[in-house]
Structure 1
């Protein structure tokens, strides 16, 4: 009897294995064609499936292969409008200055001219100077503040680059530490190693000054009686510490500087979700290389010239360690077939790599300009299918990877082209 049961179980496993579809077949049968990436399109019927598969997700991450991908930015703008208007996402979080896009945005008078100016000065210029982002930055966001449901802007990057930060961060931190009666804040060393560092915090390649600043942060941490990072100021200090440790790693030619930054971006994003926006749904705007999960499933590539693949970690990977957040998050990568790429802040333009034979891009008919493929459904329907295939899923060059585990879905763009110059900059 036992032998018969074992044979039956084995037969069922074989049947199940045979029923597993390969990814190429799945893409052919489940591809959803997207009619347009124009932000002016108010007919969201082609995004119905996208909305259905994200379900009750609280976090939707939108990637990009490079920071100059014009049609990707158009597509993301349209997706943001859909998520905001149809799915109740009222917060848009950028891979940009944590301090400026929280403290600064909260204090900003929400009038169109002031919103436009603030965005231009505090979100990275690769987006704010790109013509294809104009609709989002200089029209839509301000317009929502005339409605009942404004789209709140925030940021999670530990890097300090915003004009608001460069003008006010030093004073903000100094005032906070003095109200906490930090003894170190009344020393000459505090002025020399800590406060003066803020004057060059955006670009400072002096490793000794970076180390001294980091030591000052450690001393301040020792004296602070309040360790609860529920407070913005404490989280800000943690973010500053991570930023300088990343810089020290880079200047020391170590290979973990991106890991440090990505880990802190994940922590900052978790803080936003838990403490600042506990009842809100959040859209995340960042690079593919930050939002992807399980980077160990991507085989050797030219993606990351600085890191050892054995230790490479990403924001998305750090973020989904929390099982609840993993369940609540949908990560959408972007992929393109052909064209040119380059950033508005750099004159250099590059040809998008021609797809490999039988790669993901070749599975999409050439007459289809845009498409969405849900990988999460594939995982659910084919739990034991682990198939590596080539796709340009990080930057504009192909890697072999178990892409169905790296992303929850992919937005395909046939023709890539770089940003034009914004009329608003």
Structure 2
């Protein structure tokens, strides 16, 4: 564990050593970013940084960050129109998205919008983006949308999952169809849909997992199965049970869904993943290595897959062509716990004095894009610095070039209910 006073002394010493040279390096390595006024034609510096990456992961500190969402929306537009990206994956219901994306002609943009989390679909700041997606859907090359979250939270899933599962058992001639456990199994699935905190005895948990594993094996061997999507559905049902009953493995299962989509449905496509900064971290161990509790927890974890980040897991699965971008904020306000309610009162953003956010603030009056991949080794930002990458209440110290590929520095953040720019 690193003593906090020693860390602070190290930071101050680093500043004194490299300050004069770093001041000259800072401006040329950064680009002004203006989500409101810049056109996509003026964002080629983003394209240069991303280079030939097949997957771009766009994070945000908190789901109550309206300004970050608007910035990400502008980046999506650029990636689609100038870099040939054709797929957008949301951190939302895999099942509902899978059903709709398989029959895109039957569903409108509003249908897709209805299964995206409210802070991304219903907030004022996002409406221009949804208008853009609606216009894009009428082009000859519409953007495909899909989801990779495991939980069946959408109204669509609640209406359709059981019916779909019953049909699957019958048409695929699975053993559960004629088993006395069929109604029990379906009732357990219902409980996962409508009772997120239900308590289930250990023996019933194991029985449920056993049936999920058996169904997956049967689907894999069944010649009537046209593709692997039904097997992945059963995987998601099991994963939802694990998360609901054990509160574990959510990120691991989201990464498995995203990897499945990248390798199967969108194998040769360029894909944008819309998510949180937490999931955009390339190396979670590096991000928290100096934290007094999270650092030891990561190092001592029995199953490392339970503590690794989403992007880290994708990288380890062999998905190497990834560019991860984090949005960070200096000041302003955000809507806390927006996943519970977008009506929560906004809170003020405060960052530590010795932080990347304050270093950047001293260099410009604008928001900035920084490509961490190309910073010189003696650049000030290559040194360990405090930053608040996740939510707005937890500052960490790290060498951030090991954690993210790029940073979008938002000068002033706004909450979801504040006037959109």
Q: TM-score, normalization: structure 2?
A: 0.82
> In structure 2, how many angstroms separate the alpha carbons of the residues matched to 1:348 and 1:236?
34
> In structure 2, how many angstroms separate the alpha carbons of the residues matched to 1:24 and 1:353?
26
Structure 1 residue 265 corresponds to structure 2 residue 254: yes
Structure 1 residue 37 corresponds to structure 2 residue 35: yes
Partner of 1:146: 138
SS of 1:133 mapped into structure 2: helix
Cα RMSD, aligned residues only? 3.2
Structure 2: state its 5+ residue gaps. Answer: 1-16, 302-306
Structure 1: state its 5+ residue gaps. Answer: 1-17, 251-256
The one of 167, 175, 189 equivalent to 2:181 is 189
Structure 1 residue 165 corresponds to structure 2 residue 157: yes
> In structure 1, how many angstroms separate the alpha carbons of the residues matched to 2:88 and 2:58?
11
SS of 1:66 mapped into structure 2: coil
Are the aligned partners of 1:174 and 1:195 in contact in 2 as well (CA < 8 Å)? no
Partner of 2:70: 74
> In structure 2, how many angstroms separate the alpha carbons of the residues matched to 1:149 and 1:352?
41
Structure 1 residue 126 corresponds to structure 2 residue 125: no
Q: Deviations over 1:104-132 (max 9, x none)?
A: 23324367xx321x134211112112111
Once the two structures are superposed, the pairs formed by residues 107-256 of structure 1 within 5 Å of their partners are 107-109=103-105, 114-116=108-110, 118-137=111-130, 139-195=131-187, 197-198=189-190, 200-208=192-200, 211=205, 213-226=208-221, 231-250=228-247
Q: Deviations over 1:251-298 (max 9, x none)?
A: xxxxxx2xx111111111111111101221101000111121211112
Offset, 1:133: 0.8
Partner of 1:51: 47
Offset, 1:89: 0.5
SS of 1:126 mapped into structure 2: helix
SS of 1:320 mapped into structure 2: helix
Once the two structures are superposed, the pairs formed by residues 389-400 of structure 1 within 5 Å of their partners are 389-397=385-393, 398-400=395-397
Offset, 1:353: 4.2
> In structure 1, how many angstroms separate the alpha carbons of the residues matched to 2:188 and 2:79?
43
> In structure 2, how many angstroms separate the alpha carbons of the residues matched to 1:22 and 1:100?
53
Offset, 1:321: 0.8
Structure 1 residue 408 corresponds to structure 2 residue 405: yes
Q: Deviations over 1:352-377 (max 9, x none)?
A: 44222231011223552310000111
Partner of 1:334: 327
Q: Deviations over 1:158-179 (max 9, x none)?
A: 1111222111121222212222
Q: How many pairs does the alignment contain?
A: 386
> In structure 2, how many angstroms separate the alpha carbons of the residues matched to 1:68 and 1:386?
29
SS of 1:143 mapped into structure 2: helix
Are the aligned partners of 1:51 and 1:87 in contact in 2 as well (CA < 8 Å)? yes
The one of 273, 288, 297 equivalent to 1:308 is 297
Partner of 1:293: 282
Distance 1:301 1:194, change over 3 A: farther
> In structure 1, how many angstroms separate the alpha carbons of the residues matched to 2:398 and 2:226?
37
Distance 1:394 1:26, change over 3 A: farther
Are the aligned partners of 1:129 and 1:422 in contact in 2 as well (CA < 8 Å)? no
> In structure 2, how many angstroms separate the alpha carbons of the residues matched to 1:64 and 1:241?
29
SS of 1:364 mapped into structure 2: helix
Partner of 1:6: none
> In structure 2, how many angstroms separate the alpha carbons of the residues matched to 1:234 and 1:22?
56
Are the aligned partners of 2:342 and 2:416 in contact in 1 as well (CA < 8 Å)? no
Q: Single out whichever of 351-360 and 281-290 deviates more from structure 2.
A: 351-360
Offset, 1:74: 0.6
Q: Deviations over 1:20-78 (max 9, x none)?
A: x99777544411111x212xx56234422111111111100000001110001110111
